[in-house]
Amino acid sequence: MPDSAVMADSPATADSPATTDRISVAGQRQLIWWRFRRHRLAMAGAIVIGLFYVLALGADFFAYAPPNHTDGGRTYISPQRIHLLDGAALSPHVYPLRPGRDPETFEPTNVEDRSRKIPVRLFAHGYEYKLLGVLPTDIHLIGTTGTPAAGALALLGTDEEGRDVYSRLVLATRTSLAIGLAGVTVSVLLGALLGGISGYYGGFIDSIIQRTIEIVRSVPTIPLWMGLAAALPRDWSVTRTYLAITVIISLIGWTELARVVRGRFLQVRGEDFVLAAELVGCRPRRVIFSHMMPLFTSHIIAATTLALPLMIVAETSLSFLGLGLRPPAVSWGVMLQQAQNIQSVALSPWMLLPVVPVVAAILAFNFVGDGLRDAADPYS
Amino acid sequence: MGAEPLLSVRDLKTYFFADEGTTRAVDGVSFDVRPGRTLGIVGETGCGKSVTARSILRIVDRPGRIVGGQILLRRDDGVVDLAALPAKSATLREVRGGEIGLVFQEPMTSFSPVHTVGDQLMEAVRLHAAKKTAKKTDRKTARKTDKRDNAAVRARAVELLDMVGVPRPEERLAAYPWQLSGGLLQRAMIAMALAGDPRLLIADEPTTALDVITQAQILDLIRDLQEHNDLGIILITHDLGVVAQMADDVAVMYLGRVAEQGRAETIFSAPRHPYTQALLESIPSVHHEARMKLPTITGGIPHPFDRPAGCAFHTRCRHTVPGVCNEKEPDRRVLAGDHESRCHLEQPPVFTLTPTGYGTGNGERLADNGSARVTVVEPTAPALLEVAEPAPEPAAEPAPEPEPLLRVRHLVKHYALGERRFGRPRGTLRAVDDVGFDLREGETLALVGESGSGKTTASRCILRAVTPESGDIFFRARSGDVVNLATVRRKDLRALRPEIQMVFQDPYSSLNPRMTVLDIIGEPLLVNGVRSRQQRVDRVEELLGLVGLRPEYMRRFPHAFSGGQRQRIGIARALASGPRVVVADEPVSALDVSVQAQTLNLLMDLQERLGLTYLFVSHDLSVVRHIAERICVMYAGQLVESGPAASVLAAPRHPYTATLLAAVPKPDPRARARFDIPRAKGPEQTPRPPGCQFERRCPHATTRCAAEAPALRLISPGREVRCHHAEDLVLPVP
């Protein structure tokens, strides 16, 4: 017996016509959204991801120092404090800093030059950049008046070459998230295509594709990436390496998606309404694209969301190993690579800060992916 | 009565707490179960039957919770209230399986596929043996003796399987669940429920997933077990026939309450609650006149969120008293002895058992009673129906024997068994083996048989969803040409598709959840050349009216509809292209009794209005009897008997037909019968026996039957039988 208590079993009841009607005419997308909204962790994850992408889009606006601005006089500065009050009045300011060491422990400390105040303000002028790649401007979210911000601010400290960690982190977010997106796009295209072929035609073609997937998946990933990345010519430009890395990463990523798509195809093929469509006289193309595909787009989206963090981790690990992006490109992996020695861990722990966005982004993507997967099937 | 009740449920309340609101799935249910007696709990889907059973064992899934009432179980050391025990108490674990055994609906999903039946059965035996010994000695010693007692456990498992009638039990212990048939698995499931020597057995739809013959055998088994072990049984089912055959006491549930309860004889012969009466009336009984409209209960069960105020049934009740029923909830009223009912009516309408079936005398009360809540509206006139082609014109010259619409000859469809990828298949399954029949214009022909008999495959061949190996399917197309559907090319087939359409069994999987009703019903129009959206909207509106749904529902998605309404949508889709033949594959077997009656009435009504021809595939003989004019009975891929429905069902000439008929549980407790069909003598063998396919299960088989395959013979005008002894067998008449 069909035992599922269908929402609004008697659509014509007078008790709550508004709600029942709303549910009755709600499309699949709407139902998914309603269910997704109830998933609190996923909603939190979605907000975090949203913020990340806002940060990535306006990276130059949120940063205040050019990412590769070095300053020999400002190495290993620990995160700086902003003084909010000047006497009793609200007037945020910083003092110029010099790196120094604690004479007893040799720990790096900031030596503040209390004689000079540098006012800090929002929407200040700084280095020039193009907002969203088109609008030339020099307005930044925070900045200083008087001296250039690059030489005065160090909100999250600086690294061994005196580069500002905060600004680099913001720009690294852009690179890392973008590489994730690009990698996933390639994976989805490959995965949906090969998985679809595999699931729809079945038989021999299916066997070939499935065996290929098994072979690809059986190769240990890190050595494979290393091999492929090592094969990239060292003299390639940053952007070309970037593209090549994306492709390398997605060459592994598509297998999971291909399996998801194939599985859904096989499952949906057995549904009565597919047969019904065929009996009515629909051509295969219509059956596939109008009847079968829409049923699992949400699953593909969920799988994609779950694949994104893998891509990000992959890029981070590759770059961390020194095989991925190379300076002057900035990514989370590149930044972490610089924190590879014991000195930074022990003496300048702020160099490890890129770990925070990596963990945050991955958790957020996973929560959203879970939420989407649960919401994708309102009948499960 | 005499005996103390084994289990007394008092005012049980189980609610489900969800974000959208609280569902009162079980809302104040009380009943007793006595040893050696069977309590049948009946009701439509969503009435809270299963939740009641699960509550007794305290296995209600979250977010459900027992919020009130008592579940008093009599044990050796006094009475214990299961509802008051903590969820993880040791007593509960002892009770589950130890004192109360549970049998589920789906034997296939109730066993783990990775362990053998024996392992799972022996585990149950060991667990309960350990528990029983643990009472006397401490657990450690119990476990030690257990290890030594492996042989004893095995012996007990074999004994249990033997008790439930599994042939060759030693061999079956090593079998995996998927290697056994549904019937055998259900027996093993019952064996497992009995492993702990329970005194109460709860069977939740134990035979719903099974064939009618297997069902009869399992019911016999449960009856035997009850006699031998003095079991108290709670039998939960939606099938009134099963209840009539099995139950001593009956509780009829509606929306979480017991509407009426009492002795089975009383409930079936003098029901007092209008719901019980309506349910009984809507059974397509074998006693009903063929093709008479079935009385139905209007509308469907309301969703528990929308529980009507007052008496929950008043929205569908034909005796509703305005101002009373819709305002005040009726109290429990004791009528006589243990017969009680929840209804305001002082003098409920008299209900009699008429010769033609159940009825309140006014059997003509078919249409809805004008209630605003009723979702099924009067079908509109079909005058606007012609879309592309005019309705098939009545046969111009009434020839004495008009050319049949469809002539099926020597149809064969084989399936390879086992893996094909490497090497050869293990064997072939002859799903359809030389089948032939005619389908005349305007008639209803039923293909009948148990699952695996090939009836569905045969119907799919006609739809060319499956391409037959050989044979011919001659179809007289609207153009007048005779086309062989078995060999027609795909391209030409597409032009014929609109003329042959299908209604599916499962109302859930047959509608695309992503499409609105408009898109679903409009699809056949769209692909067959009705490009204008407005035209499609108009036509869908007509079709919805035709199947009794409101045109406003057009923009809704399938999830907004109940099973019966979805089936109506499926029917509308099948009619959209203006077909002449409709293949209906078990179109009502997934529906509740009342909805089943509505759907059957609709199908018959549509046939009359539109001059449709039905090929009706079903295993349910009472339904077939009701709708079909001619019947073809299939067994093992072959036609074994065919002829006019009335004569085949009244006087079957093939032992298989007789067996099928005898297996249908009659909804009359006074006509109880044991089934007693001999089980198959040997294992299912892939190489076909040389003789009659039914020989191994036939009570009348002779040596000739084993050696020589009978041919389909004409024994009287219109009657064909595949049996050597068709003329001289004395078969029980239903």
Q: Which two tokens stand for residue B125?
A: 């035996």
Tell me whether residues B305 and A279 touch, CB distance under 8 A.
no
Least confident among A153-162, B327-336, B451-460: A153-162
Please say whether the beta carbons of B103 and B195 come within 8 A.
Answer: no
Least Cα separation, residue A8 to chain B (angstroms): 6
Q: Which of B23, B528, B562 sits opposite A6 (nearest CB)?
A: B562
Cβ(A252)–Cβ(A309) below 8 Å: no
Does the structure show a pLDDT above 80 at B196?
A: yes
For residue B64, give the amino acid letter.
G
**How much is the pLDDT for B369?**
37
Q: Does B672 touch chain A (CB under 8 A)?
A: no
Chain A residues with beta carbon closer than 8 angstroms to that of B553: 11, 24
The reply to whether B373 touches chain A by the CB within 8 Å rule is yes
pLDDT at B388 exceeding the cut of 50: no
- HSE value, Cβ hemisphere, 13 Å, CA-based, for A154: 32
- Does the beta carbon of B511 lie under 8 angstroms from any beta carbon of chain A? yes
Which pLDDT value is given to residue B574? 93
Residue with tokens 């329970």: B198
Nearest chain A residue to B583 by CA: give it: A279
Judge: A272–B556 Cβ closer than 8 Å, yes or no: no
Q: How far apart are CA B429 and CA B637, in angstroms?
A: 9
User: What per-residue string of b and e applies to B353-387 under the rule 16 or more CB within 10 Å gives b?
Assistant: eeeebbbbeebeeeebeebebbbbeebbebeebeb
CA nearest to B325, candidates B341, B340, B309, B304: B309
Whole-number pLDDT of residue B11: 92
Q: Nearest C-alpha of chain B: how many angstroms from A48?
A: 25
Q: Nearest by CB to B238, which of A1, A11, A295?
A: A1
DSSP-derived pairing of the beta strands A83-86 and B719-721: unpaired
Q: Nearest chain A residue to B506 by CA: give it.
A: A272
A378 touches B at CB < 8 Å: yes
CB < 8 Å to B494, chain A:
281, 283
Q: Return the beta strands (E) in B598-653 as ranges.
A: 613-618, 630-635, 638-644
pLDDT at B558 over 50: yes
Cα separation, A342 vs A327, whole angstroms: 21
Reduced to 3 states (helix: H, G, I; strand: E, B; else coil), residue A100 is strand
- Start-to-end CA span in chain A (Å): 16
DSSP letters along B317-376, please? -TT--TTTTTTSPPPPEEEETTEEE--S-SSPPP-EEETTEEE-S-TT--S----TT--P
Mean pLDDT value of segment B535-548: 91
**Is the per-residue pLDDT at B445 higher than 90?**
yes
Tell me if chain A has a CB within 8 Å of the CB of B463: yes
Measure in Å the smallest separation between the Cα of B556 and chain A Cα atoms.
4
Chain segment B343-358, per-residue pLDDT in tens = 888 666 666 554 444 4
Q: pLDDT over 70 for what percent of chain B?
A: 84
CB contact at 8 A, B313 and B259: yes
Lowest mean pLDDT among A10-14, B571-575, B704-708: A10-14
- Band (pLDDT 50/70/90 cuts) for residue B501 is very high
Query: Least CA distance to B315: which residue of chain A?
Result: A13
Amino acid of residue B9: V
The reply to whether B467 touches chain A by the CB within 8 Å rule is no
- Find the CB nearest A9 among B19, B505, B562: B562
Contact state of A291 with B512 under an 8 Å Cβ cutoff: yes
Q: What is the mean pLDDT of chain B?
A: 81
Q: What is the 3-state secondary structure (H, E, C) of B562-577?
A: CHHHHHHHHHHHHHHC
Instruction: Inform me whether the C-beta atom of residue B15 falls under 8 Å from chain A C-beta atoms.
Output: no
Cross-chain residue pair B562–A26, CB shorter than 8 Å: no
- Reduced to 3 states (helix: H, G, I; strand: E, B; else coil), residue B483 is strand
Task: Name the nearest CA neighbour of A212 among A244, A254, A248, A250.
Answer: A254
* pLDDT digit string, tens, across residues B220-272: 888 988 988 889 999 999 888 899 999 999 999 998 889 999 999 888 888 88
For chain A, the 3-state helix, strand and coil shares in percent, each to the nearest 5, are 60, 10, 30
B289 near B356, Cβ under 8 Å?
A: yes
Specify the pLDDT at position A22.
65
pLDDT at A15: 38
Tell whether A288 is within 8 A of chain B (Cβ). Answer: no
Residue B203 parent element (H or E): strand B200-204
CB contact under 8 A, A3 and B50: yes
Helix then strand then coil, % of chain B, to nearest 5: 35, 20, 45
CA distance A362 to chain B (A): 29
Q: CB contact, 8 Å: A298 with chain B? A: no
Mean pLDDT, residues A325-349 taken together? 76
Residue B80 token pair: 């214990």
Greater confidence (B396 vs A362) lies with A362
Say if B502 is an interface residue toward chain A (CB within 8 Å): yes
Identify which of A176-180, B208-212, B571-575 has the greatest average pLDDT: B571-575
Structure confidence at residue B361 as a pLDDT band (50, 70, 90): very low
B302–A9: do the CB atoms touch at under 8 Å? yes
Task: For B684-719, give one letter per residue: b (16+ CB within 10 A) or e.
Answer: eeeeebebbbbbbbbebbeeebeeeebebeeeeeeb
Contact B504 A271 (CB under 8 A): no
∠ CA B731-B733-B734, rounded to 5°: 135
Report helix, strand or coil for B391.
coil
Which pLDDT score is estimated for B570? 93
Q: Is A14 on the interface with B (CB under 8 A)?
A: yes
Searching chain A, which residue's CA lies closest to the CA of residue B462? A279
In the DSSP assignment, the letter for residue B421 is S
Would you call A9 and B527 a contact, using CB atoms and an 8 Å cutoff? no
What is the β-pairing status of strands B38-42 and A108-112?
unpaired
Contacts of A273 in chain B (CB under 8 A): 509-512
Express as a percent the part of chain B with pLDDT over 90.
Answer: 22
d(CA A204, CA B419): 14
Q: Which residue of B has its CA nearest to A30?
A: B514
Question: Is B559–A295 a contact, with Cβ atoms under 8 angstroms apart?
Answer: no
Within a 10 A sphere around the Cβ of B662, how many other Cβ atoms? 21
Looking at CA atoms only, how far is residue A7 from chain B in angstroms? 6
Ranges A227-236, B142-151, B383-392, B464-473, most confident: B464-473
Residue A328's pLDDT is what? 77
- Per-residue pLDDT of A152-198, as tens digits, reads 777 777 777 778 888 888 888 888 888 778 888 888 888 888 888 88
Q: Which band of pLDDT confidence, cut at 50, 70 and 90, is reported for residue B143?
A: low
Q: Determine the average pLDDT of the residues in A233-260.
A: 78
Which pLDDT band holds residue A9 (cuts at 50, 70, 90)? very low
Q: What is the pLDDT of residues B72-123, one digit of tens each?
A: 998 888 888 988 888 888 888 888 888 898 888 777 778 888 888 888 888 8
Best mutation target among A1, A35, A282 (most B Cβ atoms within 10 Å) is: A1
* B265/B353 Cα distance (integer angstroms): 12
First to last CA, chain B: 32
Residue B302: closest C-alpha in chain A? A10
Taking an 8 Å cut-off on Cβ atoms, the answer to whether A281 and B507 are in contact is no
A9:B508 CB<8 A: no
Q: Do B512 and A295 touch (CB under 8 A)?
A: yes
Contact B560 A38 (CB under 8 A): no
The pLDDT of residue B475 is 93
CA distance A200 to chain B (A): 16
CB A108, CB A99: distance < 8 Å: yes
Contact of A205 with chain B, judged by CB distance below 8 Å, is answered with: no
Q: What is the DSSP letter of A1?
A: -
**Chain B CB within 8 Å of residue A370 CB:** no
Interface ipTM: 0.74
Structure tokens at B320: 């509703």
Q: Considering only residues 302 to 331 of chain A, which have any Cβ-Cβ distance to chain B shorter than 8 Å?
A: none
Q: C-alpha angle B559/B561/B565, rounded to 5°?
A: 140
**What number of other Cβ atoms are within 10 A of residue A370's Cβ?**
17
Partner A, chain B 550-579, Cβ-Cβ below 8 Å: 550, 553, 555-557, 559-563, 570, 573, 577
Q: Where are the beta strands (DSSP E) in chain A?
A: 83-86, 89-94, 97-101, 108-112, 118-131, 135-144
- Rounded to a whole number of angstroms, the distance from the CA of B150 to the nearest CA of chain A is 40
Q: What is the mean pLDDT of residues B517-535?
A: 88
Per mean pLDDT, which range of A14-28, A58-72, B155-169, B184-198 is the poorest? A14-28
Asked whether the predicted pLDDT for residue B286 surpasses 60, the reply is: no
Task: Say if the Cβ atoms of A4 and B303 lie within 8 Å.
Answer: no
| Among A60, A215, A33, A50, CA closest to A149 | A60
DSSP string, B647-703: HHHHS--SHHHHHHHHHSPPS-GGG-----PPPPSS---SSPPSS-TTGGG-TT--H
CA distance B708 to A347: 95
Of B133 and A171, the one with more pLDDT: A171
Find which of B41, B54, B306, B598 to mutate to test the A interface (most A CBs within 10 Å of its CB).
B306
Residue B536 CA from chain centroid, whole number = 35
Question: A-chain residues within 8 Å CB-CB of B527?
Answer: 280-283, 286
